[in-house]
Amino acid sequence: MYKFLKRWWNYGRTNRWWIYFQERFPPLKNGLLIAIFAASAVGYSALLSMAAGSTRTDLIPLPGFILIAFISLFISFFQLRVSDEFKDYADDMKYRPYRPVPRGVVSLDDLGFVAIATAAVQVGLAVPLDLRLVPLLGLLWFYMVLMRQEFFIPHWLKAHPWFYLISHMVIMPLLAFYASACYWLPAQVFPGKGLGWFLVVSFFNGMVIELGRKIRAPEQEETGVETYTALWGRPRAVASWLAAVAGMAIATLFAARPIAALPLVAIVLLVLLTAAMVVAWRFLSHPVAAWARGFELLSGLGTLLVYASLGLLPFILPSATP
């Protein structure tokens, strides 16, 4: 056992793909969030169907749909990372030579090949489940291409950070829609209007995470790295993050109504909003790295709690199930 673990550890330290994923797309860290996201999208769709009186939901193998949605979303987020590697290559070479691609751990050609290969995996999962998922995959890929090209107005977007942020966060409801479709298309139980609020929640969750990971203390700022604290200053960056948290909270409350989960969601949001105010106040009072990291940590944790309260916990807590 010791020799096996030693070989595994040495392999991890030297294998270039292991190094790349650990630095740029940690599988465990990202996988947990994506798994909850996928499970919530499928579970919320099932709860909406149950609330609408569907009798077929009990016969639907939810774990199988969740697994397919998870794998598809995991690949999509990896493809987004690869797209960013291509888009940011010039800046990375100039300002961030320590990243894996600039220092030659993997090449852009390597990443492009793997991204295309994983797209084939997505199609291979979609076709047996429901052929109608393929056009939705095409929509995801099309939007990724637009993001890669900065919607063909890169200079304008760079000069207008809010529009840049919003345009790129549209991918989140598209991903949520695809994951939910992994349930309701093959099950033939369209979830109805309530799904729209889940998509809005996903949009704001994306905003919260993106803003939270780019709020930095002064000693964390890097030349050539456009953080929101560098662009807008600390007060405005923090206020923007709090506004995104508030938008997420409001959308989550509306999403909870159709599945009769308002009490559960209200408790989760109360804890989350309180923690958000504490982190924001402490960072503005003491703009140090420890409190700056709190934004990214709370953004991820809050997203997990929100998705769990909408698509997972209602199945566990009978009083919250319609």
Say if domain 193-322 classifies as CATH 1.20.120. yes
- 89-117 pLDDT, tens digit per residue, is 999 999 999 999 999 999 999 999 999 99
pTM tops 0.85, yes or no: yes
The reported pLDDT for the residue numbered 8 is 46
Q: Which pLDDT score is estimated for 200? A: 97
Q: 215, 237 in Cβ contact below 8 A?
A: yes
- Provide CATH 1.10.357.140 ranges for the chain: 28-191
pLDDT tens-digit profile of 32-45?
999 999 999 999 99
Give residue-wise pLDDT tens across range 165-211.
999 999 999 999 999 999 999 988 877 778 999 999 999 999 999 99
When pLDDT is cut at 50, 70 and 90, the band that residue 13 belongs to is low
Topology (CATH) of 28-191: Tetracycline Repressor; domain 2 (1.10.357)
How many CA atoms within 13 Å lie on the side-chain side of 258? Answer: 24
Per-residue pLDDT band at 1 (split at 50, 70, 90): low
Handedness of CA 49, 53, 58, 59 (dihedral sign): negative
Q: Which two tokens stand for residue 159?
A: 């000069």
Where in the chain are all domains bearing CATH 1.20.120?
193-322
Q: In percent, how much of the chain has pLDDT > 90? A: 80
Q: How does the average pLDDT of the chain come out, rounded? A: 90
Residue 50 has pLDDT above 90, yes or no: no
